[in-house]
Structure 1
Amino acid sequence: MDYQSLQEKAMKISPAIRYATITDMNGKIKYSGHKKGVKNLLTSKESIKSLKTSANTWKARNQLSRKIGRGKYALAEYEKIKRIVIPLGKTHLLYLTIGARADHSKIIKRAIRLKLK
């Protein structure tokens, strides 16, 4: 699978995207990168923990999908950033962080269209 190409496409969706990562459903990073000049707010260890937590939360959501339908995305809004998690089929996730003031609805609409090949 071309994780790098998909991550690069995700980064091009909006200049507001700070960070884009493709993970498997266990939170294992397949490809990751951030916008040049952007300072990481989390340490590497904290980022890995956040990715694993997001993957585990997504798996928990999937347990309810038979009753409420498959999840389209998850959005968490913080003071400094917004974090968006979007499923890429059944086996991968796209994890984006964007600026706190960015219009997340436009970014989500475009990111949902991305597919892992």
Structure 2
Amino acid sequence: MNYEKLCETIFGLDKQIRFVAVYSKNYEKIAGGMREGTKTLSPESITRLSVEQAFDRWTTRLQMGEYIGAPKYALAEYEKLKRFTFHVGGNALLLISTELGISNDLLIENVLKTIRQ
């Protein structure tokens, strides 16, 4: 999968998307980043911690999959933004941060469709 193209396509889905990136299981960014002209809300150290925790949580979700089915996505809403997590094959996760006003259902539907293409 071309992760750079994936990130570009997802940025094109909605102007309220602030951040799109694919990370490896080693917590290294493979592709993507902040939308041009958008100011980050957290220092790099907090972003890295968030990535590490996303992988830990995704591992737990995979373990539960035997009983309740495979995970499709995860969503957390904070006071200043929303964070979405998707598995994109192998040992890679797609992390997306958005403004609060974005439509969850529409974004999730469009991202899942984009990942499948």
Is TM more than 0.5 here? yes
Counterparts of 1:44 and 1:54, CA distance in 2: 15
Partner residue of 1:24?
A: 24
TM-score, with structure 1 as normaliser:
0.90
Contact 1:26/1:55 (8 A) holds in 2: no
Counterparts of 2:27 and 2:13, CA distance in 1: 23
Partner residue of 1:69?
A: 69
Q: Report the alpha carbon displacement of residue 90 of structure 1 after superposing the two structures with TM.
A: 4.1
Partner residue of 1:2?
A: 2
Q: How many residue pairs end up in the alignment? A: 117
RMSD over aligned Cα atoms: 1.7
Structure 2 unmatched ranges of 5 or more: none
Pick the structure with more helix per residue: 2
Partner residue of 2:97?
A: 97
Pick the structure with more strand per residue: 1
Contact 1:26/1:56 (8 A) holds in 2: no
TM-score, with structure 2 as normaliser:
0.90
1:56-107 deviation line (CA, Å, top 9, x unaligned): 1101110111110000110000111000001113422110000012112111
Q: Runs in 1 of length 4+ with deviation above 3 angstroms?
A: none
**SS of residue matched to 2:115:** coil
Q: Percent identity?
A: 27
**SS of residue matched to 2:79:** coil
Partner residue of 1:14?
A: 14
1:14-73 deviation line (CA, Å, top 9, x unaligned): 111000010123432111221122110011111111111111110111011111000011
